[in-house]
């Protein structure tokens, strides 16, 4: 898997990911072996269906599953490797794929901004002390009580 980063405007980045066909073929073979154990077809004993027949009947569905799995794993790995913190759900744009072909796609990511904090020791605060007169507090409590005559 090869990953290249292309910076766009502001916080947007594009990750171009390339997965070679040998990796895809290995995943396909593993998936066919898993399916082979469970497939029951007329004329064959359970678990003894040839891989070629499984490919003919379920090839497109299996390929879709494998590509989906590879997309999820490789995109997560690419984002982790490049230490990108996505702010939104990344958008995946497939460039080229197909049986016997390499997989190329682009991940469009909006990244969280990097925030650098200065030391708080440099900031000066003004300390205020507020004195409340008891007469003023009682006067205000009476006003509130007068306005809130109905209690439920």
pLDDT digits (tens, 9 = 90+) for 24-46: 899 999 998 888 888 888 888 88
Distances in Å between the Cα of 5 and the Cα atoms of 30, 64, 88, 92, 140 are 31, 26, 17, 14, 63
pLDDT higher than 90, residue 119: no
Domain boundaries, the chain: 2-110
Percent of the chain scoring above 90 in pLDDT = 22
Going by pLDDT thresholds of 50, 70 and 90, the confidence category of residue 152 is low
State the pTM of this model. 0.67
Class of domain 2-110: alpha beta
Cα within 13 Å of Cα(138), Cβ side: 3
pLDDT digits (tens, 9 = 90+) for 129-150: 888 889 999 999 999 888 887 7
Percent of the chain scoring above 70 in pLDDT = 99
């Amino acid at each position: 898997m090869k990953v290249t980063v292309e910076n766009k405007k502001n916080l947007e980045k594009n990750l171009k990911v390339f997965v070679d066909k040998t990796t895809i073929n290995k995943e396909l073979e593993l998936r066919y072996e898993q399916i082979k154990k469970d497939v029951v077809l007329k004329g064959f004993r359970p678990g003894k269906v040839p891989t070629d027949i499984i490919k003919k009947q379920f090839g497109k569905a299996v390929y879709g599953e494998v590509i989906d799995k590879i997309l999820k794993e490789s995109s997560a790995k690419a984002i982790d490797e490049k230490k990108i913190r996505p702010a939104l759900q990344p958008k995946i744009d497939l460039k080229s794929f197909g049986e016997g072909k390499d997989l190329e796609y682009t991940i469009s990511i909006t990244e969280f901004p990097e925030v650098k904090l200065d030391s708080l020791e440099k900031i000066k605060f003004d300390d205020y002390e507020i004195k409340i007169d008891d007469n003023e507090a009682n006067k205000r409590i009476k006003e509130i009580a007068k306005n809130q005559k109905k209690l439920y």
